[in-house]
Amino acid sequence: MRLCLENKVILLYLPPHSSHVLQPLDLSIFAAMKALYHKALRRISKGDLSRVTKAQFIAIYFEVRPQAMSKRNIESGWRKSGIYPLNVDEPLKTPFVKEQIAIRGDSTVQTPTKTAERVREESVELEERDTRTIIRDLQKQIRELEAKNTLLAT
């Protein structure tokens, strides 16, 4: 953590089960990478998508990676997550959150759980936290980190 502070890197922890709404990579880079990879794979494989060698995978990956990891896509991910620039309303615009609001009939959105067994294992406190609470907590963390960063810079 000290290394991050020394290099002016803001370390931000995302709450469990929130990456589909808050993870910049999930919101931009991975989708672009997947689309570009499948397009290149169809071009190279000539119809047989079931037989991709490791060498072909690596070649395709290194071909499409620079396109997916563009500055524009990276900035888009941060913007869509609402983390930078800070916009707490942005995550609430995602299709998942809108769907949950429509299903529940209110603005309280619970994060998805994987299995009933996992739900029992997790604490009640985390289960009951809604997306708005998570976003407020993140906003508070960001402000605290910015304040620490400002103090370290002076």
What's the confidence (pLDDT) of residue 130?
Answer: 63
Q: Which residue has the higher pLDDT, 136 or 120?
A: 136
Percent pLDDT > 70 in the chain is 79
What's the confidence (pLDDT) of residue 105?
Answer: 67
The two structure tokens encoding residue 111: 């994060």
Residue 28 to residue 39: CA distance in whole angstroms = 17
- Judged against a pLDDT cut of 80, whether residue 110 lies above it is answered with no
Whether the model clears a pTM of 0.75, i.e. scores above it, the answer is: no
> Residues 56, 44: contact at Cβ < 8 Å?
yes
What's the confidence (pLDDT) of residue 92?
Answer: 81
- Judged against a pLDDT cut of 80, whether residue 43 lies above it is answered with yes
Mean of the per-residue pLDDT values of the chain: 79
Q: Which of 45-59, 66-80, 105-119 has the highest mean pLDDT?
A: 66-80
- Judged against a pLDDT cut of 50, whether residue 124 lies above it is answered with no
Residue 55 to residue 78: CA distance in whole angstroms = 32
